[in-house]
């Protein structure tokens, strides 16, 4: 019999929850540690729709990247996602910054999706740097990123720089931009503000803002493959969820 704790302990073995950032709230957030788990739903976020889906298919656990409880909870109203989760008796584990910087976590998976070679971690694991098989122009590399990450829109700096060494950081990694650019020809991340990209452009640097969801969703779902190899008695299902932020 597999329990919530068994799955928690397995994740903890390669992405220790005590390595999460001080401001984070990863871990076992909702439900009984001893609860038997026969079906798990994967989702980047725990939304009302995801909880409804999990309830419909009689799931026992939702596993997310972004914590359902992040800031202090001062009330739990009947129209809240947290209330729905508790009422449905579904447990929740979130693996956020501990999985970002794990050796098999978000950023290594993102580097694998872009087929980067000879990778190394910098910025305490929040950035992975690697090399392309062949150098390419910024326009061509931006197109490659868009295709591999299934982006509906992508923003990047206009530069003649040839891209060979690439740094990647899924989600919100703008604070590491300059450190990443000190070791790479281009920095690919999820969220960069206009003025951050302007500063990079003025410095002649190549940066790509590919979207928070796009740089984390598929890399997070790679965790499903790892769990399926260990817990043969559990069914793992990906919630049918699209990026809630639309572009035209």
Alpha helices in 48-172 (DSSP H): 48-56, 81-87, 97-100, 106-113, 138-148
CA distances from 153 to 63, 142, 156, 160, 215 (A): 27, 11, 10, 21, 12
Selection from 242, 244, 246, 237 nearest residue 63 by Cα: 237
Question: Strand pairing partners for 168?
Answer: 128, 188
Q: For 165-178, how does the pLDDT look when each residue is reduced to its tens digit (9 = 90+)?
A: 999 999 999 999 99
- Give all domains of the chain, ordered by start, each with its CATH number: 4-99 (3.40.1390.30), 106-213 (3.40.1390.30)
Q: For 5-48, how does the pLDDT look when each residue is reduced to its tens digit (9 = 90+)?
A: 999 999 999 999 999 999 999 999 999 999 999 999 999 999 99
Q: For 200-214, how does the pLDDT look when each residue is reduced to its tens digit (9 = 90+)?
A: 999 999 999 999 999
pLDDT at 243: 79
Q: For 123-137, how does the pLDDT look when each residue is reduced to its tens digit (9 = 90+)?
A: 999 999 999 999 999
Specify the pTM.
0.93
Q: How many CB atoms lie within 10 A of CB 241?
A: 17
Question: Strand pairing partners for 166?
Answer: 130, 186
């Amino acid at each position: 019999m597999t329990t919530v704790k068994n799955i928690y302990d397995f994740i903890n073995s390669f992405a220790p929850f005590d390595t999460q950032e001080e401001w984070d709230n990863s871990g076992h957030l909702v439900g009984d540690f001893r609860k038997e788990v026969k079906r798990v739903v994967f989702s980047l976020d725990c939304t009302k729709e995801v909880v409804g889906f999990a309830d419909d298919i009689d799931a026992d656990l939702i596993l997310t990247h972004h914590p359902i409880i992040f800031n202090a909870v001062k009330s739990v109203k009947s129209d809240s996602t947290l209330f729905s989760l508790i009422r449905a008796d579904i447990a929740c584990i979130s693996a956020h910054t501990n999985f970002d910087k794990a050796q098999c976590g978000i950023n290594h998976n993102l580097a694998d999706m872009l087929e980067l070679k000879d990778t190394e971690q910098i910025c305490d694991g929040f950035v992975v740097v690697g090399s392309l098989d062949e150098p390419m122009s910024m326009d061509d590399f931006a197109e490659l990123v868009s295709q591999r990450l299934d982006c509906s829109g992508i923003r990047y700096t206009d530069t003649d720089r040839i891209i060979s060494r690439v740094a990647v950081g899924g989600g919100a990694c703008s604070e590491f931009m300059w450190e990443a650019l000190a070791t790479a020809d281009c920095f690919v991340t999820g969220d960069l503000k206009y003025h951050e990209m302007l500063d990079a452009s003025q410095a002649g640097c190549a940066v790509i803002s590919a979207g928070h969801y796009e740089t984390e969703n598929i890399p997070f779902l790679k965790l499903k493959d790892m769990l399926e190899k260990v817990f043969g008695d559990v069914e793992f299902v990906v919630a049918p969820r699209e990026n809630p932020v639309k572009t035209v």
